[in-house]
Structure 1
Amino acid sequence: AHLCLLKEYTGYRNLTIDVLTSAPKPGFNVEKFAENVTIHKVAVHKKNLHFWRKTEVIEWLLKAWPHYRRMVRKNNYDLVHAFFGFPTGWLCYRTANKLPYIISLRGSDVPGYNIRLGLDYKLMAGLFRRIWSSAAAVVANSKGLRQLAQKFMPDLDISIIPNGIDTEKFLPSEKQGLTKPIHALTVCRLISRKRLDLLISAVARARELGLNIQLNIAGEGNLMEPLKGLADELNVADSVIFLARVPAERMPQLYR
């Protein structure tokens, strides 16, 4: 989502964008994405590119704060856009008295989304409320995420901007109709929130009803092995294919 947004920004020459993000390689690196877009990367000792440990979040905050503060002092920014209410939203909150910011809620930054973070949500609830309420706007990427966020802050006005799609890359196949077997696809992180256990159980039920179906699961997560075990237990291991992480350039063809 962020990459597509940056590509869209490159077409607006009246915009100058600086991105402060993380990177697994050492040091602080600056890359020119386009004439009007510069990416500043703060090194973090990550073990898994698709999973953030708490120590990694703290490390990024400690390293990113001085860079963020320097960038704000040096440049005459009009607005800051924080992807995630935390940790990035915390940086913006620290400069809210002089620089307005927008928060994009993405998932695990919303209390109640990730069961693994239950205690963290309780401990940081006060800080989250201050960060959200100080923002010029708070935006969720789906109706469901907004509903969850409003359980946490019922009086907060939260807009919805869904994730976009590149319609030049993601085109439907010319061939229409159901194949045999029926090919189903889900693309997500393998976490409890996604309820892939129900999807695998549905495949088992479909098989019982005589449907020839194959479920392809693209993505990684801490439930990979338990979900494989469930497929074995339900005797549908041959009908549930775990593809793990699929490179972005292969995704359009996978969807087709």
Structure 2
Amino acid sequence: MKILMLNYEYPPIGGGAANACFYMLKELAKYPDVQVDLVTSSPSNQFETLEAGNKRIFRLNIHKKKLDHWTMPEISLWGVKAYEFALDLAGKEHYDLCHCWFGWPSGLIGYRLKGKMPYIVALRGSDVPGYNARLSNLDRFVLKPVSRIVWRNASKVIANSEGLKNLALKTLNCNIQVIHNGVDLEEFKPAEEDELRKRQYKLRLISTGRLIERKGYDSLIRALYQQPRFELTLIGDGDQKYELWKLARELDVQVKFLGRLDHRAIAVHLQAADVFVLASQGIESGISLLEAMACGLPVIVTDVGGTREL
């Protein structure tokens, strides 16, 4: 079986969808009869190709500026380049399926290639109309009409939570299957020894994810005010980093900003923490929460969407 996979996010670029894609490829690598070609974005200013086992990764140069933030020009440029590249691949290879991460622009590319192969759409969050308040005008005049066409013609539409599915149904009443995110239990697991969690005076809180507004990190930092026994470790990067650092300094609370880390390093820090906190308002299913639970951490979370389902 040959699969053409389209995702503008792939580590080190992006967040949850990038990580989910990474681990899906890792699992598919266990099946020698499955060949996967992934078309994604390059973190450098050049085209890159990686071949390993049964997968090929094509990284298109879109002059990416920030690994954790997307602009509409960047997404649009990737959409144009990815369509041209995928069209060329489809002319050379016989694919059985096109797996589109995000309804747009990947889903739109899948729709355009429908004559060559069936396609499925994996909804992730911001690609669903109504999810991101910043895109309200774009939702009404562009994303909703495009989404209806793309979803209606897809062989399967998949959401990663019931909350995201219900939001998508407001755009088009169609058959949407829910498949929650997974976690690699070989990588994320409780510490073998209790040395990492030796009892200390301070309670070590940890949270992982992009430092953006909807993640609620500002509320989390404010909650630490006048709580000297708590210290917070934030793993991730994003547009809110300086604002959050400034807030922590003004409130005189103990927050460590570790920036972007690879999966192994994240697992080590989770194993050493006491409590995982997720203050996100997003309705998608959070991979970071699953990773923390897999490491045996007690969790404090907001009662929303995919988090409630877990």
Q: State the TM-score, normalizing by the size of structure 1.
A: 0.87
Match of 1:16 among 35, 41, 44: 35
Q: Distance in 1 between matches of 2:45 and 2:239?
A: 26
Q: Distance in 1 between matches of 2:131 and 2:38?
A: 26
Contact 1:115 1:192 in 2 (8 A): no
Match of 2:225 among 188, 191, 204: 204
SS in 1 for 2:186: coil
Higher relative contact order (CA 8 A, sep 6+): 2
Q: Distance in 2 between matches of 1:200 and 1:193?
A: 14
CA offsets 1:202-239 (integer angstroms, 9 cap, x no match) = 2237x2xxx72112111111122222333344x2x432
Runs (5+) with no aligned partner, structure 1: none
- CA separation of 1:112/1:223 partners in 2, compared to 1, >3 Å: closer, same or farther? farther
Aligned-partner residue type, residue 101 of structure 2: F
Stretches of 4+ moved more than 6 A in 1?
A: none
Cross-structure match for 2:260: 245
Cross-structure match for 1:46: 64
Cross-structure match for 1:141: 160
- CA separation of 1:143/1:216 partners in 2, compared to 1, >3 Å: closer, same or farther? farther
Q: Distance in 2 between matches of 1:171 and 1:86?
A: 34
Q: Distance in 2 between matches of 1:240 and 1:25?
A: 31
Cross-structure match for 2:244: 227
Cross-structure match for 2:189: 171
Q: Distance in 2 between matches of 1:22 and 1:61?
A: 10
Equivalent residue pairs, number: 248
CA drift of 1:97 comes to: 3.6
Is residue 183 from structure 1 mapped to residue 204 from structure 2 by the alignment? yes
Runs (5+) with no aligned partner, structure 2: 1-19, 272-310
Cross-structure match for 1:130: 149
Cross-structure match for 2:98: 80
Aligned-partner residue type, residue 224 of structure 1: K
Higher mean C-alpha deviation, range 107-116 or range 76-85: 107-116
Contact 1:28 1:42 in 2 (8 A): yes
Cross-structure match for 1:192: 213
* Percent of residue pairs bearing the same amino acid type: 36
SS in 2 for 1:152: coil
CA offsets 1:13-71 (integer angstroms, 9 cap, x no match) = 1211111111133454332121x211122111011112111111121122222211111
Q: CA RMSD in A?
A: 2.2
Cross-structure match for 2:22: 3
SS in 1 for 2:231: strand
- CA separation of 1:123/1:84 partners in 2, compared to 1, >3 Å: closer, same or farther? same
Q: Distance in 2 between matches of 1:123 and 1:156?
A: 20
Aligned-partner residue type, residue 121 of structure 2: I
SS in 2 for 1:228: helix
Q: Distance in 2 between matches of 1:195 and 1:109?
A: 20
Mark the structure with the bigger radius of gyration. Answer: 1
Cross-structure match for 1:215: 232
Contact 1:150 1:156 in 2 (8 A): yes
